[in-house]
Amino acid sequence: MAVGIADLDDLRRVRAERIAQLGGSFVVTRNHPRRSEEVLRGGSLYWVIRGQIRARQRIVGFRSERDDKDRAYCLIEVAPALIATVWRPWRPFQGWRYLLPGDAPPDRTAGAEEEPEGAAMPAWMVAELRGLGLL
């Protein structure tokens, strides 16, 4: 979940700041995934922005760490590049959720607009309708 993120440009900016802060392209989570070996065979972390899957980053590694209070956490190492996907509604959730390849949204094609070709509605309206599960 990309909490507080408005759009892909905002996510790119925040991710660049995080890379500078952590010295690498990591996402911090509390628990190490149970299916980590499977995920490392081509899996991606999907970014949910305002109720829509909007982008992904390829997962390249995991590191289990402990904070200064000896609490465990996991660093998910992701490729720095954000890959925009076709928008797909996604209900809020917590923890790891695994998408089957057929359930994952496809990548947007190079040069594609924010919305599919010929979209008759503005992007904000499409996002709102998708968030309501109507598109």
- List residues bridging with 27 in a β-sheet: 76
In tens, the pLDDT along 38-72 reads: 999 999 999 998 888 899 999 999 999 999 999 99
Pairing of strands 72-78, 52-66: antiparallel
Residue 64, classed as helix, strand or coil, is strand
| Percent helix, percent strand, percent coil in the chain, to nearest 5 | 20, 30, 50
Is the pLDDT score of 116 beyond 70? no
- Of the candidates 20, 15, 31, 6, the one whose C-alpha atom is nearest the C-alpha of residue 78 is 15
Domain ranges of the chain: 8-131
Q: State if pTM tops 0.95.
A: no
